[in-house]
Copies of this chain bind each other. A is one copy, B any other.
Amino acid sequence: MTATIDRPISQVPDSPASALICRNCGAQFPLGAQHACFECFGPLEIGYDAGRLSRVDRAGIAAGPQSIWRYAGLLPVGQDERTRVDSHTGMTPLIRADRLADRLGFTAPLWVKDDSANPTHSFKDRVVSVAITAARELGFSRIACASTGNLANSVAAHAARIGMDSIVFVPADLEPAKISQTAVYAGTLVAIEGSYDDVNRLCSELAETDEFEATAFVNVNVRPYYAEGSKTLGFEVAEQLGWRLPQQVVAPMASGSLLTKVHKAFKELQQIGLVPPAEYRVFGAQSAGCAPIVTAFDAGEQTVRPVKPTGIAKSLNIGNPADGPYALDAVRGTGGAMAQVTDEEIRAGIQLLAETTGIFAETAGGVTTAVLAKLVSSGRLDPARETVIYNTGDGLKTLDAIADRVGPTAVIAPTLAGMRSAGLL
């Protein structure tokens, strides 16, 4: 990491974060823009001062803003509100889904955490808000990412909001909506002829170049900060349930990071006493077009073998998932399960969620809903336990997935006779 070691750590004021810790070998490093262990090349994550975390209380959170920054005391940056990039991200609705529960045979409450309510309509606004705040505090002047689309939207929008330069890298075959929605913010947008994994590899190379020394790649060189943003998906659910944990959660998996961070959030909340100790199970969802983590889970293996992604759930199409092994740990360690679903099941999942809840999800939400249904029908998820599923994105971004399945009931002339001829009067 050319750009990182000599950056002054003191630029991050008064943070409860204490170190970067290797998730593989446990080695510790000073805070900064580093993402891989110098000892074993394992991924790093943020470690905290337990005493500092335990100072956070419910009243302090409740007095905070209606955004992820109410949890600043549990995040590595943004303690001083003047340092925060606040895009009004987070505190998205937790929606009681009684009609979906009935359809699937639930006897316990079923909830949807709807992250399509974020400013660019995906959960990525959480991780980007934290990453761009960190990037600014660490002295970077440009923000960048490798993206399957939603992340590109969010990085470009956040950069436009604060007037920072941005350069985002996406596969050239992305949904057109995601290309346009990113390009409209007028940052630099590079379309790569290759898969997301190719894009990611290129970004890792670029992060090592002199020309990109002042560039923070949110999911490369500031990834430990970035990933912590997903903890807020766990914090918010607990707070919205009245400071307790649900018994089961279902999360989609691309890199696997989101799922592991929800698990981390639930553990932290218990450690510092914000929620009572409770057993919970974590469930993971992938599409059949890109299911390397589910394949390893089903085979009882710890190694995730990369695949070449296909299928309509493009925002989940990471064939070589960085956090796959940790997602396996979280699911196995809590007694959860994983499942994969076909493109047809994904489309049906989008429709089922829309018809029963009024939430129009992108393909990733269709994956999660369809996996929920499959886990219930196969007896692996208990419909008698309170359950939360995560909808991570918006149906408007992946309209093609359902455009040929839904349409007008009738097309008629603007007359009562037209209504009668269509059988509507």
Residues of A at under 8 Å CB distance from B? 66, 87-88, 91, 93, 95, 99, 114, 117, 119-121, 156-161, 163, 167, 170, 172, 176-177, 179-181, 183-186, 188-194, 198-199, 201-202, 205-206, 209, 211, 350-351, 354-360, 394-397, 399, 402-403, 406-416, 418-419, 422, 424-425
Contact = CB atoms under 8 A, between A and B. Distances in A.
Contacts of A394: 121, 396
Given A170-B408, A185-B360, A191-B411, 7 more contacts: A66-B91, A88-B117, A160-B354, A172-B411, A181-B399, A186-B354, A190-B411
Contacts of A201: 414
Contacts of A414: 192-194, 198-199, 201-202
Query: Which residue, of A120, A121, A183, A209, has the highest number of chain B Cβ atoms within 10 A?
Result: A183
A190 B66 contact: no
Contacts of A424: 167, 188, 190
A419 B198 CA distance: 13
Query: Which residue, of A87, A185, A422, has the highest number of chain B Cβ atoms within 10 A?
Result: A185
Contacts of A406: 180, 183-184, 186
Contacts of A409: 188-190
A159 to B, nearest CB: 8
A111 B95 CA distance: 30
Contacts of A397: 396
A120 B114 CA distance: 12
A261 to B, nearest CB: 24
Contacts of A93: 88, 119
Nearest to A396: B396
Contacts of A202: 414-416, 418-419
